[in-house]
């Protein structure tokens, strides 16, 4: 049996690299696996040897103890790899294919999948629509921060790169297709970004930076990114964004200095439920701050794209309401301004092929923009620790030593 190691959540603030089971074409019992999924046959699946698998801010929420994730959960939903085995029902994906794995697990058969809403597939999570690898309450599919991972519905889910050698030359860029690049792009599309738009993006983490790249790709005239972290704001400026340091006060005042008016056409929330206050409250958690400020600074008739994660269970929240995902949102303000809101998982398959082509044809350098930094699988605990401290990097794990010169 081929050895397999994976990054596992062991409790608040602690991850470990452990030996885990090699994938089989059947979903086994384990930490976080929905009991109704145990024993599920995956004849339609593929086993992928991981080339790159990224640490995500959504993983960090779990590692901080801000979800109901159980100890032992195998982490990781941003996966790029090489197919090494296929189930008997797989027709088109072949061994040796280099592929991107959308973080959404989707069947391709249900009503939502057929409508392109792959983030809320009805058939992969027995509890509710929507599933992801290595994520709490998402059906219990093992995560991809490992040497090998099982991908169900392979013909549907996997995006094959058309030229393997060419893809490996841009592998750090292509590794962003599994989540953050489509997620940032989705945030901008749903916020209505188009040529000439002015855009404010809350959050200069990897998703916020990806949203900044996406806004430029969509033709935005001005892209402003707000954050507390000076290193991350510097990273945003490195590819042409204006920046707002929200520790200095409300975004609208600094936006007015940049644009000559305190409003933008489009707003994107790339922060989510662990939002901090602005100005004098910058060191304190205020989970509704970003949404409320975006409603204030987005022009009437505009839209908010909300790719930032919000949860239904947050045991570390400051008050009882927030522990249930209930926030003090100024919905009346949003209503009065006729703002549109789009929330939820990005349906990655709606965008990943187009963004792949933009990467392969040198229209975008997403890895440089998010400061993609390869590290070994054994370095994952340190990567989580540094990322939690606000490192202006996107850590890319290299479980099988396949990144080559990209990792140097």
Answer yes or no: do 82 and 193 share one domain: no
Answer yes or no: do 112 and 221 share one domain: no
Answer yes or no: do 147 and 158 share one domain: yes
Report the pLDDT averaged over residues 67-93.
96
Tell me what pLDDT residue 1 has: 59
Q: Measured between alpha carbons, how far is residue 86 from residues 42, 43, 99, 153, 175 in Å?
A: 10, 8, 13, 10, 22
Tokens describing residue 307: 């790719």
Kindly report the CA angle at 77 between 75 and 82, in degrees rounded to 5? 110
Rounded CA-CA distance 222/41 in Å is: 49
Phi-psi region of 342 (alpha: psi -120 to 50; beta: other; left: phi over 0): beta
Answer yes or no: do 170 and 234 share one domain: no
Answer yes or no: do 167 and 259 share one domain: no
Give the single-character DSSP code of 373: E
Residue after which a domain boundary falls, among 288, 315, 342: 342
CATH number for the domain including 20? 3.90.180.10
Tell me what pLDDT residue 324 has: 78
Answer yes or no: do 240 and 198 share one domain: yes
Concatenated DSSP letters for 196-218? T-EEEEE--SHHHHHHHHHHHHT
Sequence-distant contacts of 332-340: CB under 8 A, at least 24 apart: 333/292, 333/295, 333/296, 334/295, 334/304, 337/295, 337/298, 337/299, 337/300, 337/301, 337/302, 338/300, 338/301, 339/295, 339/298, 339/300, 339/301, 339/302, 339/303, 339/304, 340/192, 340/302, 340/303, 340/304
**Taking 80 as the threshold, does the pLDDT of residue 180 lie above it?**
yes
**Taking 90 as the threshold, does the pLDDT of residue 321 lie above it?**
no
Answer yes or no: do 29 and 136 share one domain: yes
Answer yes or no: do 307 and 274 share one domain: yes
CATH number for the domain including 328? 3.40.50.720
Beta strands 222-227 and 242-245: pairing type? parallel
Report the pLDDT averaged over residues 266-276.
90
Answer yes or no: do 10 and 88 share one domain: yes
Whether 145 contacts 78, CB under 8 Å: no
Query: Per-residue confidence at 161, pLDDT binned at 50, 70, 90?
Result: very high
Report the pLDDT averaged over residues 75-84.
98
Kindly report the CA angle at 226 between 198 and 188, in degrees rounded to 5? 45
Tell me what pLDDT residue 407 has: 44
Tell me what pLDDT residue 386 has: 95
Report the pLDDT averaged over residues 239-244.
98
- Answer whether 0.85 is exceeded by the pTM: yes
pLDDT digits (tens, 9 = 90+) for 325-383: 888 899 999 999 999 999 999 999 999 999 999 999 999 999 999 999 999 999 999 99
Tell me what pLDDT residue 367 has: 98
Report the pLDDT averaged over residues 74-93.
98
Residue after which a domain boundary falls, among 286, 317, 342: 342
Sequence-ordered list of residues with C-beta below 8 angstroms from that of 93, at least 6 positions apart, any chain: 46, 83, 86, 99, 154, 155, 158, 160
Q: Measured between alpha carbons, how far is residue 318 from residues 137, 272, 312, 328, 390 in Å?
A: 22, 15, 14, 13, 21
Whether 122 contacts 131, CB under 8 Å: no
Tell me what pLDDT residue 405 has: 47
Other CB atoms within 10 A of residue 301 CB = 11
Tell me what pLDDT residue 408 has: 41
Answer yes or no: do 298 and 315 share one domain: yes
Residue after which a domain boundary falls, among 298, 319, 342: 342
Answer yes or no: do 128 and 270 share one domain: no
Total domains in the chain come to 2
Give the domain range for residue 50: 5-179+347-407
Answer yes or no: do 157 and 207 share one domain: no
Tell me what pLDDT residue 318 has: 74
| Tokens 């003090």 belong to residue | 328
């Amino acid at each position: 049996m081929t050895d397999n190691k994976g990054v596992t959540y062991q409790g608040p603030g602690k991850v470990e690299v452990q030996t885990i089971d090699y994938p089989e074409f059947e979903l086994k019992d384990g930490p976080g696996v929905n009991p109704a999924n145990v024993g599920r046959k995956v004849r339609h699946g593929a086993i992928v040897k991981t080339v790159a698998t990224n640490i995500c801010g959504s993983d960090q929420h779990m590692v901080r103890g801000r979800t109901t994730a159980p100890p032992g959960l195998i982490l990781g939903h941003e996966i790029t790899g090489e197919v090494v085995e296929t189930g008997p029902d797989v027709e088109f994906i072949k061994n040796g294919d280099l592929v991107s794995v959308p973080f959404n697990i989707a069947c391709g058969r249900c009503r939502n999948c057929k409508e392109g809403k792959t983030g809320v597939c009805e058939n992969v999570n027995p509890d509710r629509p929507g599933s992801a690898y290595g994520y709490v309450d998402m059906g219990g599919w093992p995560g991809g921060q490992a040497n090998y991972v099982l991908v169900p519905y392979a013909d549907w889910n996997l995006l094959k790169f058309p030229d393997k050698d060419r893809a490996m030359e841009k592998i750090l860029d292509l590794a962003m297709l599994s989540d953050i690049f489509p997620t940032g792009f989705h945030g901008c599309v749903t916020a209505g970004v188009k040529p000439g738009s002015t855009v404010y993006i809350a959050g200069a983490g990897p998703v916020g930076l990806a949203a900044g790249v996406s806004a430029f790709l969509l033709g935005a005239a001005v892209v402003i990114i707000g954050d507390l972290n000076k290193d991350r704001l510097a990273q945003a400026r490195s590819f042409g964004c204006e920046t707002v340091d929200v520790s200095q006060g409300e975004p609208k005042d600094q936006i007015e200095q940049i644009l000559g008016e305190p409003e933008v056409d489009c707003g994107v929330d790339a922060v989510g439920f662990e939002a901090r206050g602005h100005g004098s409250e910058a060191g304190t958690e205020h989970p509704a701050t970003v949404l409320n400020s975006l409603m204030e600074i987005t022009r009437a008739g505009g839209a908010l794209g909300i790719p930032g994660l919000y949860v239904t269970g947050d045991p570390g929240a400051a008050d009882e309401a927030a522990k249930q995902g209930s926030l003090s949102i100024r919905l009346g303000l949003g209503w009065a301004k006729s703002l549109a809101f789009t929330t939820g998982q990005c349906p990655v398959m709606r965008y990943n092929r187009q963004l792949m082509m933009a990467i392969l044809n040198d229209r975008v350098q997403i890895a440089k923009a998010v400061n993609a930094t390869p590290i070994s699988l054994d370095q994952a605990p340190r990567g989580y620790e540094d990322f939690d401290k606000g490192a202006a990097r996107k850590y890319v794990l290299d479980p099988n030593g396949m990144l080559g010169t990209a990792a140097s």
